[in-house]
């Protein structure tokens, strides 16, 4: 009799522990990870790369993945009379800039798609960064560089790292560089090189960890 009671107690405790684990898992909030498309030109490759990146990183249960498209946002060219670093609490004179500010504040982590334009990153990216200041502080950011040549946007990403670290962003060391980007994807829009997927998985683990 005592033996059966012991087993019953162990079973009840086990179910209790399992429930507690499930409840804890449910409680764990997802991190908002946004894929920022760093180009806006007609026929840009960033759209296809963004989708391929999305397909990989959205498998991570801890991440709520969304696109952040500079083309759709249509941010103005920097025109504020007061530089963002001088207005910590003051809003911008431009409501679109204020919306951009709110969006970045509400983003836990970013993966920036960085096109190589003449060995540097795109002007639209620099403009998007300069419109804000305090919002970048501590922001968790990872990079995916790409270009037509064989270096996959190495110097473009390096330059962007320099700028974002100067304003206090929290940059991941791991990065994905895609050389000869015009042949990086299958017809279905998946990465041909499966190592890219492994690296992206590792990057999103770090962004959400
Ligand atoms: C203005 C311009 C300059 C470029 N310079 C380089 C370069 O220096 N190195 C390189 O690898 N690719 C270069 N490329 C190729 C781009 O990296 C490639 O076309 C990429 O797809 C651009 O990103 P997007 O398609 O999202 O605009 C250049 C493309 C443009 C439009």
CA 81 to ligand 1 center in whole angstroms = 32
Atom of ligand 1 minimally distant from the CA of 150: 11
Q: What's the CA-to-centroid distance between 59 and ligand 1, angstroms? A: 29
Would you state the structure tokens that stand for residue 2, as one six-digit string?
């005592």
Element housing 143 (H / E): strand 140-146
What would the two tokens of residue 191 be? 């990465």
Nearest to 149 by CA among 119, 123, 193: 119
Task: Give nearest CA residue, ligand 1 atom 23.
Answer: 115
For atom 1 of ligand 1, the residue with the nearest CA is 117
**Residues 99, 92: Cα–Cα separation, whole Å:** 10
Extents of the domains making up the chain: 30-208
pLDDT tens by residue, 95-143: 999 999 999 999 999 999 999 999 999 999 999 999 999 999 999 999 9
Per-residue pLDDT for the chain (209 aa), expressed as one digit of tens each? 455 555 555 545 544 444 444 444 555 789 999 999 999 999 999 999 999 999 999 999 999 999 999 999 999 999 999 999 998 888 999 999 999 999 999 999 999 999 999 999 999 999 999 999 999 999 999 999 999 999 999 999 999 999 999 999 999 999 999 999 999 999 999 999 999 999 999 999 999 99
Which among 34, 37, 30 is positioned nearest to 60, based on CA atoms?
Answer: 30
Q: In whole angstroms, what is the distance from residue 40 CA to residue 37 CA?
A: 8
Angle between helices 123-130 and 154-166 (to 10 degrees): 10
Helix/strand/coil for 40: coil
Ligand 1 atom, smallest distance to 153 CA: 11
Residue 34: name the closest of 104, 128, 136 by CA. Answer: 104
Question: Which residue owns the Cα nearest ligand 1 atom 30?
Answer: 117
Rounded Cα gap, residues 128 and 75, in angstroms: 7
Q: Tokens 């096109």, residue?
A: 115
Centre of ligand 1 to C-alpha 74, Å, is 21
Going 82 to 84 to 85 to 89, the CA torsion angle's sign is positive
Other beta carbons less than 10 A from residue 202's beta carbon? 14
- What are the pocket residues of ligand 1 if the criterion is a CB atom closer than 6 Å to any ligand atom? 39, 41, 44-46, 115-119, 147-149, 181
- Would you state the pLDDT for residue 29? 87
The domain at 30-208 falls in which architecture?
3-Layer(aba) Sandwich (3.40)
List the 140-146 sheet strands across, edge first.
63-69, 31-37, 109-115, 140-146, 170-178
8 Å CB contact between 174 and 140? no
The predicted structure's pLDDT at residue 87:
84
Query: How far is Cα 60 from Cα 151, in angstroms, rounded to an integer?
Result: 28
């Amino acid at each position: 009799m005592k033996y059966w009671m012991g087993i019953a107690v162990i079973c009840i405790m086990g179910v209790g522990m399992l429930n507690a684990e499930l409840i804890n898992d449910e409680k764990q909030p997802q991190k908002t990870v946004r894929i920022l498309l760093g180009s806006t030109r007609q026929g840009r490759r960033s759209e296809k790369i963004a989708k391929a990146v999305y397909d990989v990183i959205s498998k991570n249960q801890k991440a709520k993945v969304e696109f952040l498209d500079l083309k759709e946002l249509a941010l103005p060219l920097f025109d504020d009379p007061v530089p963002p670093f001088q207005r910590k609490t003051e809003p911008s004179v431009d409501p679109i800039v204020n919306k951009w500010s709110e969006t970045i504040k509400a983003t836990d982590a970013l993966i920036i798609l960085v096109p190589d334009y003449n060995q540097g990153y795109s002007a639209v990216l620099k403009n998007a960064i300069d419109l804000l200041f305090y919002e970048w502080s501590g922001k968790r950011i990872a990079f995916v560089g790409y270009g037509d040549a064989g270096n996959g946007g190495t110097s473009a990403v390096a330059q962007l790292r320099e700028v974002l670290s100067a304003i206090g962003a929290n940059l991941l060391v791991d990065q994905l560089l895609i050389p000869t980007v015009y042949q990086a994807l299958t017809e279905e829009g998946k990465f041909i090189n499966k190592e890219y997927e492994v690296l992206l998985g590792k990057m999103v683990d770090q962004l959400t960890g």
